[in-house]
Amino acid sequence: MAAAHSYTLESHLQAHPTFSQDTKITALFSSFPPKRSPLNAPSWDAKLRFWRDIIFETTRLGLLSDASLVSFDSTNLEQKFVRRGLTPLGLDVVLDDLQKSGDIIPLKSFTANSSEGWSLFSVVTTPISWGWSAIMGGNEPSSHKTRQAFVVVPLVKELASGLLTSLRSSALVATDNLYSYEELEHHFEQLANAKTGRQPSSLDLSLVQTQLERDGDMIFDGTGDKRVVKIRSAKTTGPLMPVSVTDRGVVTMKRTVTMLQRQIASLEAQISSLVVQAQQKLRQKQKPQALYCLRQKARLTAVVEKRLSSLENIDAILQRIAHAQTEAEVLAAYQLGSSALQEVLKVNQLTPENVEKTMDDLHDAFADQKEVDDAMALGQSMLNTESDADAEELEKELNMLLAEETAAKVQALPSVPVATPPVPSTVADLDVELDNLLVEDGREKRQAKTANKTPLPA
């Protein structure tokens, strides 16, 4: 794996908007105050964030090192960022802050006690003295004498998490958690290229491998290209088991499958080429040469058939192993489920006797409840009968009260005077009254006749 590319640090910085602003670049390239205080805290923190983002971004793109997408050599770091004749003067403070926060770790410390050891990284960790006096004048600061290669921890964790997720997503059975180192390299190259657009280096893979080993998500067995890689499946809760003899056998068969597939592809390409050559020889009237090509084709076809047969057999074995491991996992799940069920029954005292007793008790409780309900219904009926009788008596009493109240109101009203004619006391008075009545009756009759007459026409 290589990290070479045409996109340079110079072109990246030229495209960065901040580096085209004179006022900002002057402030960002100046040195930090001797001490952070409440007054200078905003500008201090802003400058730290800016350089942190720049260092992480350029490292991620492989612009600070030709050998890594997750680490950089801090030696000559100021010189790499020189812009418009200005050299950043505060990178020592930035690097110190990043180390304190754990965002960067010296490469030697990061790889300590890893399976790779220190030998792979000796090239990038060798201290390099650079010409500080030629750039700034004076002696090199003491902090620069300890400059070294650093690992950007967030970038390593990002690639490690992505690689683990990618491997797990394609794992359907237990044997899919086993890889050859060549397969791991292939997966990692695809992942890094998709995330950064750059080709990762073997150093990047070694750092990611170290991170995954520390997290307990990956273990290695063997040395060199014959190493066996085993990852923790997403459903594994305990520690990752060491690589077993069966695991090594599975990986060996996988390597054989890959080798056979490549051989078959190569042989088929040769067969196609021989067919084309035979056709050309026939068109050129070169029959012996055409026959030779056909005989070669026949021999290669026989080899392909043998390779296909071997490939089929190995695939069948791998499938049987995967099937057996799946069956073992299913059986383990059954056993776990059985133990869990028995524990639940035991804790909750779920036995046939307890169930039968509980159902009997429940039946008795229902019977008792029915008796209570019946008694309540009878008592309620009796109460309702008494209530009806009481209601009739109350209704009668209410009507009597209403009648008395109405009579009292009528008696309280004032009497209306009535004109009563005087009663005649003598016979003479009776005669006078009779005459008056006759006169009045005659007058009423005449008035009626006059009213009934029809007027004559004029």
**153-202 tens-digit pLDDT:** 999 999 999 999 999 988 888 888 899 999 999 999 999 998 888 889 99
| Dist. CA 19–CA 423, nearest whole Å | 138
Q: Phi and psi of 327, rounded to 5°?
A: -60, -40
Task: Please say whether the beta carbons of 200 and 65 come within 8 A.
Answer: no
Q: What integer pLDDT is reported at residue 448 of this predicted model?
A: 67
DSSP 8-state secondary structure symbol assigned to residue 86: B
Residues whose CB is less than 8 angstroms from the CB of residue 275 and which lie 6 or more positions away in sequence, other chains included: 293, 297
Above 60 in pLDDT, residue 99?
Answer: yes
DSSP 8-state secondary structure symbol assigned to residue 186: H
Residues whose CB is less than 8 angstroms from the CB of residue 132 and which lie 6 or more positions away in sequence, other chains included: 138, 139, 140, 141, 144
| Dist. CA 317–CA 323, nearest whole Å | 10
Which of 109-118, 332-341, 346-355 has the highest average model confidence (pLDDT)? 332-341
Q: What integer pLDDT is reported at residue 57 of this predicted model?
A: 92
Task: Please say whether the beta carbons of 379 and 386 come within 8 A.
Answer: no
Percent of the chain with pLDDT over 90: 38
The pTM for the full model equals 0.63
Q: What integer pLDDT is reported at residue 176 of this predicted model?
A: 87
Q: What integer pLDDT is reported at residue 144 of this predicted model?
A: 44
**Which amino acid type is present at position 220?**
F
Q: What integer pLDDT is reported at residue 128 of this predicted model?
A: 32
Q: Taking the mean position of all CA atoms in its chain, how far away is CA 104?
A: 29
Q: Three-state DSSP class for 229? A: strand
Above 90 in pLDDT, residue 382?
Answer: no
Within a 13 Å sphere around the CA of 388, how many CA atoms are in the beta-carbon half?
5
Q: Three-state DSSP class for 312? A: helix
Q: What integer pLDDT is reported at residue 75 of this predicted model?
A: 87
Q: What integer pLDDT is reported at residue 233 of this predicted model?
A: 87
Q: What integer pLDDT is reported at residue 416 of this predicted model?
A: 56
